[in-house]
Amino acid sequence: MRAFLPDFLFAGGRVLSGAALVVQDGRVESVGAVPSGAERVPLPGRAVLPGMVSAHSHAFQRAIRGRTEQRDNPRADFWSWREAMYAAAERLSPVDLHAVSKFCFLEMARAGITAVGEFHYLHRDPQGKPYADGNELSLAVARAAREVGLRIVLLRAAYARSGYRLAPNPRQRRFIEGSAEEYLKNLDALSKQVPVGAAPHSVRACPLEWIRDIAAEAKRRGWVLHMHVSEQPREVDECKAEHGTTPPLLLERLGALQNAVHAVHLSADDIAALARAQAIVCACPTTERNLGDGILRADKLLAAGVRLCLGSDSEVQLSPLEDARQLEYHLRLLQLQRAVLDPAQGGVGGLGAALYRIASENGMRALGLPGGALQPGEPADFLVVDLDDPSIAGANAEDLMSNAVFSMERTAIREVRVAGEPLQLESRPALEAFRAAMRRLWG
Ligand SMILES: [Zn+2]
């Protein structure tokens, strides 16, 4: 049994001064006093915060960072970006996928992420033929996370088609499987090796029958269900043309409204449906602004009682704190007001803590994992933060969490622990394997 003794500990949604975080067998044993017989780990000048979660990641997209920031198309938007992303997706070998994913997960760990929901849709070989093991690529990604030490839930995506009344796009041939049955067979096999979730890609990429069957099986098996929902206006328009309704209302009808990724373009009825379904909206603000998707109405969702979590999505920038602060900042620019999401409407320190819990606790919930709040019984996944780092120096118990969310830089994160054990945050071999993969991809 070990008792970590930081100056400040954020546990159970509150900042505690001088409290011990007591860890045994990878779990939080207690918070507060040091039990007799515990090994003391003094952490003067440090704060301990719960590990954060990227509940929506496409790790392979780390390979296109920096390669899509030019206007080579009269209308550079999500759809033109997607073509650039496909250029990488169609060429990655299993070895490259592992190298890119591992380096991405290492960067996540350095940013304070301890668990990831990998929304994985690369399944087949570059010719579109199944690998001998239908989970070859899913397992390569899972292995990468395990080697870094992150918790992973493999949200294996189902992809059936290019879209409603659209000709097949040959650049999607690695994503598409023959039927919902084939998909579920592979997901079942994968579930015996890795924690999984079901993930019909979107209403664009899956017909109604696939979504209904997969949602029913997920419910039966106790798997979380994740989907891209209403990321782009065109996706909403196509759904209306095909189904006569919006994606959230369609998914509610199909019993598939559970974890809605993006949910940027919503009507009042959509928000009410998300609330009725007790859905979690997975916001990816850094990617959403990079892709020009739009601004998430976090204020309206929270007011309706919808919970939020965060995802790094395209991996253009790996900072869950940046995502947390953008939830708020985008609304400030829209409404010309400050502290829009403050739950107490003016309470000091409340906003930072609320945003941090979105980044930690809510992400774990979205992945169906216990924890995220460092309460007794939960996994001991946490960061050790340097209170003398210039970005947050001077923080006290009252303003620590707002300092952390709005100002903390990665340099303040000195240690990241999963199940009480420190992760190795740097790896020369991982860097070299990543660089070799990038050379093979782009020369
Ligand atoms: Zn996504």
- Whether 171 and 97 map to the same domain: the answer is yes
* Residue 347 pLDDT: 45
**Chain center to CA of 409:** 19
The residues pairing with 6 across neighbouring beta strands, listed in sequence order, are: 43
Query: Is 313 a catalytic site residue?
Result: yes
Q: Is 42 among the domain residues? A: yes
Ligand 1 centroid to residue 119 C-alpha, Å: 7
Average pLDDT of the segment spanning 80-95: 89
How many other C-beta atoms can be found within 10 angstroms of the C-beta atom of residue 283?
29
CA–CA separation, 75 and 118 (whole Å): 30
pLDDT band at residue 346, thresholds of 50, 70 and 90?
very low
Ligand 1 centroid to residue 368 C-alpha, Å: 18
State percent of the chain over pLDDT 70: 99
Q: Is 289 among the domain residues? A: yes
Q: Of 259, 278, 280, 270, which Cα lies nearest the Cα of 235?
A: 270
Query: Is 262 a catalytic site residue?
Result: yes
Return mean pLDDT, the chain: 96
Average pLDDT of the segment spanning 21-33: 98
Among 262, 270, 381, 389, which one carries the catalytic annotation?
Answer: 262
- Whether 136 and 123 map to the same domain: the answer is yes
Answering whether pTM is above 0.95, one says: yes
- Residue matched to tokens 């976090």: 298
CA–CA separation, 325 and 322 (whole Å): 5
Q: What is the pLDDT of residues 142-193, one digit of tens each?
A: 999 999 999 999 999 999 999 999 998 999 999 999 999 999 999 999 999 9
CA–CA separation, 115 and 119 (whole Å): 13
- Whether 240 and 267 map to the same domain: the answer is yes
Q: Is 431 among the domain residues? A: no
Q: What is the pLDDT of residues 89-98, one digit of tens each?
A: 899 999 999 9
- Whether 287 and 386 map to the same domain: the answer is no
* Residue 344 pLDDT: 63
- Whether 86 and 143 map to the same domain: the answer is yes
CA–CA separation, 219 and 74 (whole Å): 44
363: helix, strand or coil: helix
Ligand 1 centroid to residue 109 C-alpha, Å: 20
Q: Of 234, 230, 221, which Cα lies nearest the Cα of 249?
A: 230
- Residue matched to tokens 């947050």: 392
* Residue 71 pLDDT: 83
Ligand 1 centroid to residue 314 C-alpha, Å: 7
* Residue 223 pLDDT: 98
Q: Is 432 among the domain residues? A: no
Q: What is the pLDDT of residues 258-275, one digit of tens each?
A: 999 999 999 999 999 999
**More confident position, 70 or 250:** 250
- Whether 127 and 244 map to the same domain: the answer is yes
- Kindly tell me if the per-residue pLDDT of 348 is higher than 50: no
- Whether 134 and 68 map to the same domain: the answer is yes
pLDDT band at residue 83, thresholds of 50, 70 and 90?
confident
* Dihedral in degrees, nearest 10, Cα atoms 379, 139, 190, 225: 60
Ligand 1 centroid to residue 21 C-alpha, Å: 35
Q: Is 438 among the domain residues? A: no
pLDDT band at residue 79, thresholds of 50, 70 and 90?
confident
- Whether 56 and 166 map to the same domain: the answer is yes
pLDDT band at residue 439, thresholds of 50, 70 and 90?
very high
- Whether 193 and 319 map to the same domain: the answer is yes
CA–CA separation, 79 and 5 (whole Å): 50
Counted domains in the chain = 2
Q: Take residue 217 and report the two structure tokens written for it.
A: 């099986």
Q: Is 429 among the domain residues? A: no
pLDDT band at residue 345, thresholds of 50, 70 and 90?
low
Q: Which domain holds residue 325?
A: 52-366
Among 7, 96, 313, 323, which one carries the catalytic annotation?
Answer: 313
How many other C-beta atoms can be found within 10 angstroms of the C-beta atom of residue 342?
18
* Residue 300 pLDDT: 96
- Whether 362 and 391 map to the same domain: the answer is no
Average pLDDT of the segment spanning 57-79: 89
